[in-house]
Structure formats: C-alpha cells, structure tokens
A = this chain, B = another copy of it.
Amino acid sequence: MTFVEATCSAPVNIAVIKYWGKRDTALILPTNSSLSLTLSQDDLRSTTSIRADATFTRDALWLNGSSVALDGEGRMTTCLEEMRKLRRQLEQSASQKDIDGKALSSCHLHIVSENNFPTAAGLASSASGFAALVFTLAKLYQLPENASELSRIARQGSGSACRSLFGGYVAWEMGASADGQDSLAVQVAPETHWAGMKALICVVSDAKKGTSSTSGMQRTVQTSTLLQERINSVVPERMAEITKAINQRDFDTFATITMKDSNSFHAVCMDTFPPIFYLNDVSRSIIAVITELNRLSTEAGKGLVAAYTFDAGPNAVIYALEQSMPEIIALVSHFFPGKDRKEGSLPAGFNVKVSTVFPPESVSRLIHTRVGDGPRVLSADHSLVASDGQPKRIA
C-alpha cells in the first residue's frame, strides 16, 4: 500500500444568532456566542477527499477543480498543522501503521474539495469547506477526537465552520480563555428533534460585491458604538431564549428571535463607519413580505409562520415548518417571479402594498431544504482523487 485516503462531506449552516466580530483575529475567537441550524447535505454540501502518499512531494489543494496555492501560512495551513500535531501525538502514544515505513503525519497530502452549489449563489462555502477538511483529516488520521474538539480546529479555518461539525441545532460557545480552548461548538438538539423544520434559501441577485465578512466584522468591532451593547447584553439573552425555544419547539419565539437577531446584526453593520450594507431593495422587500404574512397569521390567531435571516449578503434564508412552506413559496414567487417557480399567489387579506412585484430573476433561485445531519463519511466510490493522485475533475 502506498497511500491512505478518506472522503467525507460536511454541511452548510445558517445562523439564527449571528457571529459578527472577533476578539482574537489569529485564533478566530468571537466577541459573542452564536447559534445555527445545519442544512441538509442532500441539498448543499462540501465534499473533500484527502490522500496521504509517501511519494507525494508537497501538500496540494484543489478547490472546485482549481489548484490553490498552499503557501505555508494562512488558515488552511493552521488547520493542517493542528491536525498533523494530533496525529503525531497518536503516533507517539501508540503503534500506528505507517505508509511504506513513513509516519502518516509526515506524508504530504493531496486535498480535493468541491461544493455542490455555485459560489455565485452567495452561500458561504468556507463553513462547510473547513468542516469537511477537518473532519476528513480526522478520519484519515484515525483520530479519537470528538466533534467539539474538531470544531475548535475548524474554527481556526473559518469561525462559523465550527458549527458545521454537527447536525441539527448548534451553538458556538464563545468561551473565555485567551488560547481559545473553550471556544467550540456543541449540539443544542439533533436534526431529528424538531420534525418539519425547513429552510427556503432565496438567492438574491446583486450587482455590487459586498464587503467581505472578515474585513467587515473587524471594521464593526473598531467603529460601531452599538456593538458592545449587542455583545454584552443582547446576544447572551437571546442565546438563552432561543435555546429554550428550540428545546420546547416553540416556533413563535424561535422565529421572533431569529428575525430580531438578523436585524440586530445588520443594524451594527449599518452603525459601522463607513457603514456596511448587505441588504438591498430585494432583501428589504422579502422582509416586508414575511412581516405581512406573519401579521396576517398572528391576527388569525395562528402565530408566526416564517422567520427570515440574512448573512453577510442579500440572500434570504426563511425558516418555517413544513406545513407553511407551500404558502411561503407561493408568496415569494408572486413578488419575485423566476424561471424555476410557478406563478405565485397571495393568501386572502394580504396587503399587496408592502412590496412591488420585482422584475423576473431578482431572486435568481429558490433552494428548499431542511435541517440535516453533521459530516458524513463517504465510501471510496465517492473519492474526488484519481488513481494518479490528481483530482478527477479539473475546472
């Protein structure tokens, strides 16, 4: 045997309590805890194959079929080095198999990673990508570490990646220690906990490339006069409240906090100097439409039916229970017509004045998915590495 290999996939997660701000930019330690829902890998995933071969002469990485330079520094290297360190500890403490007499931790790696969703969709791929990287390395290296321990390392690749190590409802506890040992993800509830929890991703076209979240959040930390209030008071209270709401499957509270925290996050972005805008007119109208739908439903005594949330971009993610989704999709399709959806309709009593009907493809795509499980180990059939150690697919 000249090589060992592992292939795994990891999910995307969309936060309901937002991560925005680092207290340590090198270790990626956040200024507040956050909480997300893991979305199903059946719809959205990063898949990563990693091969270790004694004959490889260097570490190499391909993302979506394109070679990416590994320059021996940066976040990718941090994750690789942390994982190699764990492997070396294992090799020292026990007799582990080598490859052709060479310790596995000393072998170079070929890493091939792909997302099944277009980068153009504006969905953060770094979370699922780093989660897949760290999880696949853990399998390759046969490490005993649990998901929370791995999340501590994935966090150093991309903060929110730590939450993609788990399925279901996942908290990233900010921790208190300076070295970040207690800043890691824990599962609040598994994906099976709340039957029927669905997500509708509305991919919003935007002419203008927004501020990157890495630079944006640091500008907020440096300049916003409202962020400290969010960090010290608003988020801790919401973390406790939404955890309880999830445990009790209380959709009204879950939805209210989700929408408020999305608003709060975009508020501190606007309070940044110069201000950061991620929401555009389409995003604003999605909010207005969901707000009106919830008003109608609440007045009818049925409580809230949908919760919008927006990350660092104009795309909306709408969380709702399964029975509400047909109505929500019809509503979105009415105001935001597009090729991939039927003509939309409105519930009786809906105030159409809350939004204009937008030109076709203002929402370019709707992705209807659900809460899903954590990283999966895939069989060798799914390997992205060809027999010659190069990627099967080159872009």
Q: A-side interface residues toward B, CB under 8 Å?
A: 207-208, 225-226, 228-230, 233-234, 256, 259-260, 263-264, 266-268, 270-275, 277, 279-281, 284, 287-288, 291, 353, 355-356
Contact = CB atoms under 8 A, between A and B. Distances in A.
> Max chain B CB contacts within 10 Å: which of A230, A234, A267, A288?
A267
A328 B229 CA distance: 36
Contacts of A277: 279, 284, 287
A287 B275 contact: yes
A245 to B, nearest CB: 16
A230 to B, nearest CB: 7
Total identical chains: 2
Contacts of A225: 229-230, 233-234, 260, 264
A119 to B, nearest CB: 19
A273 B226 CA distance: 17
A356 B225 CA distance: 30
A277 B208 CA distance: 19
Contact of A270 (B207, B267, B281, B291): B267
Contacts of A229: 225-226, 228-229
Nearest to A225: B234
A264 B271 contact: yes
A318 to B, nearest CB: 15
A350 to B, nearest CB: 15
Contacts of A267: 226, 267-268, 270-271
Contact of A356 (B208, B263, B291): B208
A259 B287 contact: no
A287 B274 contact: yes
A101 to B, nearest CB: 55
Contact of A355 (B208, B260, B263, B288): B208
The 8 closest A-B pairs by CB, nearest first: A267-B271, A229-B229, A267-B267, A267-B270, A274-B291, A226-B226, A263-B275, A225-B234
Contacts of A284: 277, 280
Nearest to A269: B267
A210 to B, nearest CB: 11
B273 A270 contact: no
Nearest to A285: B208
Nearest to A283: B277
A263 B259 contact: no
Nearest to A287: B275
23 contacts: A208-B353, A225-B230, A225-B233, A225-B234, A225-B260, A225-B264, A226-B226, A226-B234, A226-B264, A226-B267, A226-B271, A228-B229, A229-B229, A259-B273, A260-B273, A263-B272, A266-B270, A274-B287, A274-B291, A275-B287, A277-B287, A280-B281, A280-B284
